[in-house]
Structure 1
Amino acid sequence: MSMRPGARMPKLTRRSRILIGIALTVVVLLLVGPRLVDTYVDWLWFGELGYRSVFSTVLVTRIVVFLVAALAVGAIVFAGLALAYRTRPVFVPTVGPNDPVARYRTAVMARLRLFGFGIPVVIGVLSGAVAQSYWARVQLFLHGGDFGITDPQFGKDLGFYAFDLPFYRLVLSYLFVALFLAFLANLISHYIFGGIRLAGRSGVLSRPARIQLVALIGTLVLLKAFAYWLDRYELLSHTRGGKPFTGAGYTDINAVLPAKLILLAIALICAAAVFSALVLRDLRIPAISLVLLLLSSLIVGAGWPLVVEQISVKPNAAQKESEYISRSIAATRQAYGLTNDHVTYRDYSGTAPTTAQQVASDRATTSNIRVLDPTIISPAFTQFQQGKNFYYFPDQLSIDRYQSADGELRDYVVAARELNPDRLQDNQRDWINRHTVYTHGNGFIASPANTVRGIANDPNQNGGYPEFLASVVGANGNVVSPGPAPLDQPRVYFGPVISNTSADYAIVGKNGADREYDYETNTETKNYTYTGAGGVPIGNWLTRSVFAAKFAERNFLFSNVIGNNSKILFNRDPAQRVEAVAPWLTTDSTVYPAIVNKRMVWIIDGYTTLDNYPYSELTSLSSATADSNEVAVNRLAPDKQVSYIRNSVKATVDAYDGTVTLYAQDESDPVLKAWMSVFPGTVKPKSDITPDLAAHLRYPEDLFKVQRMLLAKYHVDDPVTFFSTSDFWDVPLDPNPTASSYQPPYYIVAKDLARNTNSSSFQLTSAMNRFRRDFLAAYISASSDPDTYGRITVLTIPGQVNGPKLAFNAISTDTAVSQDLGVIGRDNQNRIRWGNLLTLPVGQGGLIYVSPVYASPGTSDAASSYPRLIRVAMMYNDKVGYGPTVSTALDGIFGAGAGATATGPAPASGAGSQPPGSRPPAAAPPPAPGSAPEVPTPAAAVPATPGVPTTLSPAKSAALTDIETALGAVQEAQKNGNFADYGDALQRLDDAMKKYEAAK
């Protein structure tokens, strides 16, 4: 019986076609228009930064990958449809007037082009859209090189795993998807057009349908065989459940790996069996072969390894896995920069008795004990350095180091005084004011981290606040830059605070009178016009229209404040700017400001990463880098899995003009080399890093936190001990009562552990506990000094030495400490906050814990709730020191005079040296008494220095006697816990010191 002629579909009227066309045009414009606008804006932005080659390379790569994937997948699906249609039966019998297949066939024939071309096009476009997101994988395949290291199993260079294997897997997955979709399309088409008929108990399959479907199935089986081949290599970076290490273990090498080869052979045999149906016309053979392949994958691929694991490995796991654990230890150390050429281990007692003289010899540490906690004192910066309501400091400030006025290396708490658009009020929020008047911040604020202005003996005294060094535009329009380094341009147009708003842009440039708020004199407000190189010109109507569409703001078109010289500054977050011009980098979660070559810049650390380094442990960045500081401000690293990481790039963003500069930090990194080949000329060589910039590069926090977490396991050399986990360490929890996560690492200036000398060194440090214990196991320090940058020193500590939690508990529950803080916080008059608990090596094997204690009024008056240093608490072995200053706390542990000697001027530095904290204020400080000067070293202890008298005058001798008497009174009052006498004694000591300094 012949097929009935298909019913015609109703025709659309001309008006309907016009309306549908208009509607489709509007939909396309709504979908494509914003993307076109964003692309053009990005083209302008990258060009302004000088990185348009990055934009064009990424765009062209995405387009090419999209087209290749779309055409390949679409063509394969189209071939499946076209072959089924062209080989359809001429006459198709029907089973009756209500045959559902006939209705589908009629509908398809009525819109044959729509179905025949539309389905492949849609599938191809979707496939291309997904594939273009893998542009980086394609570029690494094209430009990747060798590592010069081979894997321990197959002997292949690691570049194969980093650059080639991911690409092969990508191509394989797309071929598999394309052929599977083509199989479905061919199967359904043959069914609709009659090549497959389900009639009776057997059904009918036409010869073309059989050939095409068998060919597709056979090709899919061949692809599966190739997948088994690639699976062998991926065993080296996978983790079998229950293993304490990453990579192929005993079961994988002796069971899974042979199983993959067996399955590969079975897959090839099954593919041949499937293809045999092309000749034999018997579908039972392909069906049996596919069932065989499925059963083989279950028995050989899963069952056999399970039996080997349970019967052979588990009863003797430590011995069986020993060789493979050794592989994992070596690979993880290599992948994370923890090999012996980067890490030095030294035995350290942790409890060795230390004398006052030994403490004095550690002045590099004791004179730099940090009493300012950058996570606490931001409100004090806001209180005394904000100036205007729209200026703002981040909740957590940064630590950097500079040469102080006395020539010593000191750490400083630093911050840029940025403008926060969200703090503008009332008329300040008007579009013109927000985007053309309030455009920038003003100032670089630094506070010496080892001192405060004035001693707060009790809560009623106005001391304990930071000493501020503010580099700002002064009231006369000139730049005031008292330190810690000279700064020519303190205006801040780019920063993490100013960009943290829904409409991150500022319109600048000369258009009549100066418009931008800059500073105030006693009588008037002074404005300013941006003169930097940054910014995209918006002087013509095209760019104004584009940005009006970009930000959905009509004022770009109609406001007369925009002229021919106007420019727009946008995308002002430093980290996001770096991520845009280097999309292959993972950036550190923290950025920090620094004065480099008289310019204020933001410094950002960039990482190159891999997730398939053979035998290296797979690590979650978000989990490894989470600590109490990150949790407090919800600043977490991306949820990214890595098994290889290098701090390969240091980036700077100019705070004034937004210039982004990338420097190669690790030029030996093969991943960096590959990306430098993809984007030539975008990364400057390491030799271009100036000495001034090198002096402010910090060892990055996120990398250090990943490394310390891995060192907790991979410091172990013996694989049997590693398997038992008996010698593992733990990252300690933050002991602070308000914390809820791991203790963060701390930047400090202390004695140089990398060189093992008493010279000053800027380091990132962390204590490590014993596994699931609160006793100290190790102390880790990473050097940030230019000559020893990246050198990690691990002091391994035996026995049961108090860890951070035990030390904090001992300090906070000490009778004198708890009573004094109870008095200060009585009736909620003051809120007590414990600062960061620092762990510092001192002497010849000792450790001292130091925690600043802050008090802020517990009233509802927000203007008076800014924390200030009220006490310093210490613990050495089991002895607690406590007082208003570092010096007095040291006296409480090591005896009278120990603190003055350890924190005062270096004896051999000459007569002109000044004690820490003696610098006069450069910016308006909080009202406070002058800082009490440090106690000088007794004359007998001062070595002879050319040109400096070695004997004291009678007046100085008398003053020194008064100092010693006052010190004794301080010591006695501290022992008795009498803080009233303690304050009086400190005042007498202060008077004696002034008398000593005034004596001739």
Structure 2
Amino acid sequence: MSLLFSYLMSGERSDPLSLPLKAFFLFILLLFFGVTLFSRFVLDYKWFESVGYPQVFLVTLTARLFLFALGSLVSFLLFLFFWRWCKRSILSSVTVFAPFWEQIEGASREYIDVTPETSVRRVIKSIEMPLLLLFALVSLLAGLGLSARWSTVLLYLNKASFGAVDPIFGKDIGFYIFTLPFVNTILNYLIALFILISLVLILAYLSFNWRLLGEEIPPSLQAALIPLFLFLAAKAYLSRFNILYSATGAVYGAGYVDVHINQYIPLIISIILLGTAIAIPVSSLISTRGSIKIPVAAVALVVVVSILGSGTAWFVQEFKVSPNEIVLEEPFIENNIRLTNKAYGLEGVHEEIYPLTYNLTIDEITDSPSIKNIRLWDHRPLLTTFQQRQEIRTYYGFSNLAVDRYHLNGELVQTWLAAREMLPDKLKGTADTWINRHLIYTHGIGVVMAPVNAVDEQGLPEMIVKDIPPRIEVEGIKITQPRIYYGEETNNYIITNTNREEFDYPMGDENQYTTYKGKGGIPLTPLNKIFSTIVLGEVKLYTSEYITEESRLHLYRNVNERAEKITPYILFDNDPHTFISSDGRIYWMLNGFLTTERYPYAEPTRFNNNRFNYIQDSVKAVIDAYNGTITYYIIKNDPLLTAYSKIYPGLFKPLSSMPEDFKAHLRYSEDLFKIQANIYTVYHMKNPEVFYNKEDRWEIPTEKYETAEIRVEPYNVLLQMDDKLQFLTILPFTPVGRDNMISWMAVKQDEPEYGEITVYKFTKEEQIYGPSQIEARIDQDETISRDLTLWGQSGSRVIRGNLLVIPYKNSIIYIEPLYLAAETGSIPELKRVIAFYNNSVAMEPTLNEALKKVLGASNRTTSREVTIPEEGTIDSLIQQTIEHYNAAKKALISGDIEAYGREMKNVERLLQKLEEETGEK
């Protein structure tokens, strides 16, 4: 600092070319950043224009620019105003401490008086320009910070009512989601600004006239401190609403201590801060300058109140609440239960008892659509099969599978579908060139489809859509445009309509070529070519002789990235799914959610590194795989979506405008279903006392996949329910710490009942096997265990697929497919199907054979168990009692609680009969 000061104070001047040279380099640097920023803005606008949403870009840009300009201008003007006021105050009368001026030749180390016409004026003049530049830089940063909150401001200006109020303050939920974040944004900006202004003033006075701060507050500093304390008082007052998000009580949200103690602490602090803002100007009326003791005392008092408040809250919690927690916290637990269910879309869950009869017959499963559509192909082995049999060339790939349903050959069939995408990263050696990556290998082609249950003679899936070009082997599907320019793996930009034809697909030893005829992409006019070259940093875009004015630049081709670019405030799940429309085009459908973490009392959760306590199934985004056009459809018009619809008119379309063939492929998000299921394992308990004690907490069970224990994932089924075949996503539950199944959750995926969630409970008296218990029973079966061991010893890798719990006609059927693959990584083959029903297990080559075997065994066992001879002798009754008792002991040893209970009921029934017979004798 002393060297810098010496440099500023000295009369020496540097090289006269130095300043122009620095100015030139600064100009070049600013020009570079300016041109790059402008080019990015223009290219972004052109992209939004190409997808049909230029108004979205303009609304967002206008809001951001306005807030940036407003924040920067207000900040700079306030800095300038207070600095000039401070400068006049300093120049009017200054006493400077000598050590600060030791670089001034001949200066004394004693106190010296300096008039405004002497060195002080020169010093201030020398630092004023750098100081103004610093003010400008800080103002720009303040403007950037404010512009980053553009969505908060726009949401406030377009807010909508939630139609519900919080139970503590009685304010509409929208106040916490729209109004409070906006007010806090403005307050945070102003508080930060006036803190910086106050610091600048204090540093200035300390540097030039430190004695001014000894006892009194200069007028300019008073003028900065008054609004600062006012804003701090407002901030403290609003912080009382934070008790609705408290995590210190029995549940998330305001508890007994929060309501009776903690909410008043910010209120007291806000009164102190407000009083300070009033006391500062009042004290200046009494004396010439306000006393510096006032803000110092205020800060100390705030600290004392905070400490006393925290201590009081702790004392009440420890000595009043904790000994009587369930009684005192009960109303607040009720608030948490009710509002959490509402925030996660679970308030409308229908619960009903699922009665079990176990009287299925072989005739009832023959030709049943529900049984025929039981999934035998898990996505992991099937994806491996698709990759090895249908990628065709190394540069193609399948990244994901989509489960769906189609009307094929006149029947509704559950299918797996995968899009064959181009993977330019697989181009190797001399083929990995800029031209190949961006001009020639531009698109994938076709899809592969297989029914979830169809197996050929080799144990492989029956593919009903396959090969290149796509070959279709069923009625009900056609593909008129198989090319995929936009997908899950399309992460690079491409340029179409160049002087080089695009590679289309291989045909024998020859390659077929094509030219893009769609409407996607940005036209590469001369100006657009310049902007693209600057933004993408690729000179070849400008110099390549293959690129013409007819060429089109395709950006943001990844479907998730594409959807998020237009609607960054929507959270999309991890599973975009492909479907084929009735006119033969390939589309992607994405599930979008609107979230917030400001919903009062609702328990927070995390997904994809996002924390929230409110989520709604709001939007479906449909993207054309060829053109890249994207349409957003409203699934549930919650208040957040209503606000965004006002901000961006025309962006979101009603579900009624969605084509019927699109509606036929609606799918409920599995990610959302898992979030809701995890919440419901706890929040199905509506009784506060039961909830507090966690007496009836559920969990998602585990199963064995290959050799690992994994959590059961939601799975899709076609089930005959309510007299019609319905496409459902289901998931079983077990009690915490126990393996038996207690209930299962299902959500409907077909219109008009899309999104309806039902939880089917088993009665407390019934002990229903959970997935891990079924896995154990399978392992205990001698025949199955022997075969698994033999296959493993013969060099094959045994893959145990997902265990499916299938509710069907008041029964529960368990199905587990079994695959074999060579250790070297060959294609998995479906080797066996394991079925379990009513305490009978079988492993057979096909699903029908396995089901017939367990149904036959179950029916024989059931008839034996319920048959008691009407005229049995005492000897025969004793013999039967012994048999059933022995069977009960065997069931108990094997852990089969259900069979044990059934056998003991038979023993009890026989003993009663024996007693009757003995009494008659």
- With the shorter chain as reference, the TM-score category is 0.7 to 0.9
Which one-letter code corresponds to 2:786 in the other structure? Q
Q: Separation in 1 of the partners of 2:274 and 2:234?
A: 9
Q: Answer yes or no: is the 8 Å Cα contact 2:495–2:552 preserved in 1.
A: yes
Q: Separation in 1 of the partners of 2:7 and 2:173?
A: 64
Q: Answer yes or no: is the 8 Å Cα contact 2:162–2:173 preserved in 1.
A: yes
The higher relative CO (CA closer than 8 Å, separation ≥ 6) is in 1
Distance 1:484 1:306, change over 3 A: farther
Q: Answer yes or no: is the 8 Å Cα contact 2:619–2:636 preserved in 1.
A: yes
Aligned to 2:316: 308
1:467 aligns with 2:462: yes
Q: Separation in 1 of the partners of 2:569 and 2:439?
A: 34
Aligned to 1:682: 651
1:399 aligns with 2:387: no
1:197 alignment partner, one of 188, 207, 211: 211
Distance 1:469 1:187, change over 3 A: same
Q: Separation in 2 of the partners of 1:789 and 1:255?
A: 45
Matches within 5 A, 1:560-575: 560-575=545-560
Aligned to 1:885: 846
1:167 alignment partner, one of 182, 194, 197: 182
Aligned residue for 2:568, secondary structure, equals coil
Q: Answer yes or no: is the 8 Å Cα contact 2:341–2:683 preserved in 1.
A: yes
Shift of 1:510: 5.8
2:423 alignment partner, one of 420, 427, 431: 420
Deviations 1:222-277 (A, max 9, x none): 223212321222322x1232x34221111111111233333333333343334433
Q: Separation in 2 of the partners of 1:100 and 1:471?
A: 87
Which one-letter code corresponds to 2:586 in the other structure? M
Distance 1:619 1:736, change over 3 A: same
Deviations 1:494-542 (A, max 9, x none): 101232xxxx12221163xx7112234446322111100111111x332
2:237 alignment partner, one of 215, 219, 229: 229
Q: Separation in 2 of the partners of 1:694 and 1:5?
A: 74
Q: Answer yes or no: is the 8 Å Cα contact 1:229–1:261 preserved in 2.
A: yes
Distance 1:93 1:355, change over 3 A: closer
Q: Separation in 2 of the partners of 1:338 and 1:48?
A: 39
Shift of 1:106: 8.3
Q: Answer yes or no: is the 8 Å Cα contact 1:9–1:110 preserved in 2.
A: no
Distance 1:24 1:391, change over 3 A: same
Q: Separation in 1 of the partners of 2:855 and 2:774?
A: 17
1:298 aligns with 2:319: no
Matches within 5 A, 1:114-125: 114-125=129-140
Which one-letter code corresponds to 1:820 in the other structure? D
Aligned to 1:770: 735
1:264 aligns with 2:270: yes
Which one-letter code corresponds to 2:572 in the other structure? T
Q: Answer yes or no: is the 8 Å Cα contact 2:464–2:472 preserved in 1.
A: no
Q: Separation in 1 of the partners of 2:705 and 2:532?
A: 48
1:148 alignment partner, one of 144, 148, 163: 163
Distance 1:848 1:362, change over 3 A: farther
Q: Answer yes or no: is the 8 Å Cα contact 1:362–1:842 preserved in 2.
A: no
Q: Separation in 1 of the partners of 2:123 and 2:798?
A: 78
Q: Report how many residues are paired.
A: 836
Bigger shift: residues 726-735 or 577-586: 726-735
Which one-letter code corresponds to 1:86 in the other structure? R
Bigger shift: residues 785-794 or 106-115: 106-115
Q: Separation in 2 of the partners of 1:867 and 1:495?
A: 27
Deviations 1:816-851 (A, max 9, x none): 222112222224x2111122221111232x322222
Aligned to 2:378: 373
1:505 aligns with 2:504: no
1:518 aligns with 2:487: no
Which one-letter code corresponds to 1:646 in the other structure? Q
Aligned to 1:53: 55
Matches within 5 A, 1:182-221: 182-194=197-209, 196-197=210-211, 204=214, 209-221=217-229
Bigger shift: residues 212-221 or 77-86: 212-221
Distance 1:566 1:162, change over 3 A: same
Aligned to 2:612: 642
Aligned to 2:919: none
Distance 1:6 1:647, change over 3 A: closer
Q: Separation in 1 of the partners of 2:197 and 2:709?
A: 54
Q: Answer yes or no: is the 8 Å Cα contact 1:479–1:489 preserved in 2.
A: no
Aligned residue for 1:127, secondary structure, equals helix
Aligned residue for 1:801, secondary structure, equals coil
Bigger shift: residues 129-138 or 286-295: 286-295
Aligned to 2:127: 112
Distance 1:105 1:421, change over 3 A: farther
Q: Separation in 2 of the partners of 1:134 and 1:100?
A: 47
Shift of 1:740: 6.7
Q: Separation in 1 of the partners of 2:781 and 2:462?
A: 30
1:318 aligns with 2:287: no
Q: Separation in 2 of the partners of 1:374 and 1:74?
A: 59
Deviations 1:291-332 (A, max 9, x none): 2232112213x1222222112211111111111111111111
Instruction: Give me the TM-score of the superposition, normalised by structure 1.
Output: 0.79
Aligned to 2:872: none
Q: Separation in 1 of the partners of 2:801 and 2:313?
A: 53
Q: Answer yes or no: is the 8 Å Cα contact 2:339–2:602 preserved in 1.
A: yes
Bigger shift: residues 576-585 or 800-809: 800-809
1:606 aligns with 2:592: yes
Distance 1:732 1:10, change over 3 A: farther
Deviations 1:100-130 (A, max 9, x none): 6989968952533324412221211112222
1:557 aligns with 2:522: no
Which one-letter code corresponds to 2:21 in the other structure? L
Q: Separation in 2 of the partners of 1:21 and 1:762?
A: 69
What's the RMSD between the two structures over aligned residues?
2.7
Give the fraction of aligned pairs with identical amino acids, expressed as a percent. Answer: 30
Q: Separation in 2 of the partners of 1:481 and 1:52?
A: 43
Q: Separation in 1 of the partners of 2:545 and 2:648?
A: 40
Shift of 1:288: 3.2
Distance 1:92 1:358, change over 3 A: farther
Distance 1:408 1:189, change over 3 A: same
Aligned to 1:43: 45
Structure 1 residues without counterparts, runs of 5 or longer: 455-462, 622-636, 899-1000
Shift of 1:585: 0.9
Q: Answer yes or no: is the 8 Å Cα contact 1:762–1:784 preserved in 2.
A: yes
Bigger shift: residues 880-889 or 688-697: 880-889
Shift of 1:723: 0.9
Aligned to 1:854: 819
2:352 alignment partner, one of 342, 346, 356: 346
Aligned residue for 1:666, secondary structure, equals coil
Q: Answer yes or no: is the 8 Å Cα contact 1:705–1:745 preserved in 2.
A: yes
Aligned residue for 1:409, secondary structure, equals strand
Distance 1:178 1:285, change over 3 A: closer
Aligned to 2:915: none
Aligned residue for 1:872, secondary structure, equals strand
Q: Separation in 1 of the partners of 2:820 and 2:158?
A: 57
Aligned residue for 2:805, secondary structure, equals strand
Q: Answer yes or no: is the 8 Å Cα contact 2:340–2:601 preserved in 1.
A: yes
Structure 2 residues without counterparts, runs of 5 or longer: 1-5, 108-118, 860-921
Which one-letter code corresponds to 2:243 in the other structure? L
Deviations 1:356-404 (A, max 9, x none): 258528924322110011122112112221222211111x412111112
Q: Separation in 2 of the partners of 1:479 and 1:447?
A: 12
Bigger shift: residues 731-740 or 719-728: 731-740
Q: Answer yes or no: is the 8 Å Cα contact 1:270–1:290 preserved in 2.
A: no
Bigger shift: residues 103-112 or 811-820: 103-112
1:826 aligns with 2:793: yes
Which one-letter code corresponds to 1:336 in the other structure? Y
Aligned to 1:439: 442
1:802 aligns with 2:802: no
Shift of 1:764: 1.1
Aligned to 2:805: 839
Which one-letter code corresponds to 1:822 in the other structure? T
Aligned residue for 1:213, secondary structure, equals helix
Aligned to 1:985: none
Distance 1:239 1:751, change over 3 A: farther
Q: Separation in 2 of the partners of 1:563 and 1:15?
A: 45
